[in-house]
């Protein structure tokens, strides 16, 4: 499966690079001045798009040299091209809102705690080691299943990450915010 990864350079989301490290048939875009229109043009050449980093309900935030619209490198202007593939992966805070609003398909995260400060904001007392354990556990699982259809990524990550969620409050919070299209929409 030919995959394009869109992951803006940002030290606070470097842990996500484990997901695609060593992946074959992959193009990784991290910034370096690439523009939205260039990305939209090349996405149709790929079987899957994996988008990850910091984001909002309006899309993936820019960083590391991406030239985006209103601070987002991936936004509603990508809906048409993203809607052509049900096997995409959307990993950013509140990606579920974006996916739901535009009726996209794929494995997606809701609000995702990846830093101690975020945990505190949501009333979770967490140590850095608990956050790291959650981040590493999640990324290792997505990496393990990354070549499967996104419905299977969702199913298997949800099942196995759920084991960590029983002992890690950060993982529990994130576990309850993992989705696939069928869990977001009623057909």
In this structure, is the dihedral angle defined by the CA atoms of residues 62, 65, 69 and 70, taken in order, positive or negative? positive
- pLDDT tens for 158-177 read 999 999 999 999 999 999 99
Q: Compute the distance between CA of residue 127 and CA of residue 111 in angstroms, rounded to an integer.
A: 19
Q: Which residues pair with 59 in a beta bridge?
A: 56
Going from the N-terminus, what domains does the chain have, and what CATH number goes with each?
3-184 (3.40.50)
- Top mean pLDDT of 26-40, 56-70, 105-119 is at 105-119
Q: Is the pTM of this model over 0.75?
A: yes
Q: What are phi and psi of 46, to 5 degrees?
A: -115, 150
pLDDT of residue 64: 55
Mean pLDDT of 33-39: 87
Confidence at 186, pLDDT banded by 50, 70, 90: very low
The total number of residues shown for the chain amounts to 187
Q: Quick check: 20 pLDDT over 80?
A: yes
3-state helix, strand, coil in the chain (%, to 5): 45, 20, 35
Q: Quick check: 182 pLDDT over 90?
A: no
Q: Quick check: 187 pLDDT over 50?
A: no
């Amino acid at each position: 499966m030919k995959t394009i990864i869109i992951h803006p350079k940002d030290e606070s989301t470097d842990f996500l690079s484990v997901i695609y490290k060593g992946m074959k048939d992959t193009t990784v875009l991290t910034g370096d001045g690439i523009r939205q229109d260039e990305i939209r043009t090349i996405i149709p050449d790929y079987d899957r798009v994996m988008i990850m980093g910091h984001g909002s309900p309006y899309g993936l935030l820019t960083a590391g040299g991406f030239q985006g619209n209103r601070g987002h490198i991936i936004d509603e202007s990508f809906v048409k091209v993203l809607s052509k593939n049900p096997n995409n992966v959307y990993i950013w805070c509140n990606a579920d809102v974006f996916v739901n609003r535009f009726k996209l398909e794929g494995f997606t995260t809701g609000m995702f705690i990846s830093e101690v400060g975020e945990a505190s904001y949501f009333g979770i007392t967490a140590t850095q080691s608990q956050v790291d354990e959650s981040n590493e556990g999640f990324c290792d699982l997505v990496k393990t299943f990354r070549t499967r259809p996104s419905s299977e990524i969702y199913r298997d990550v949800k099942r196995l990450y759920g084991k960590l969620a029983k002992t890690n409050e950060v993982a529990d919070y994130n576990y309850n915010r993992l989705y696939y299209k069928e869990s977001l929409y009623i057909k």
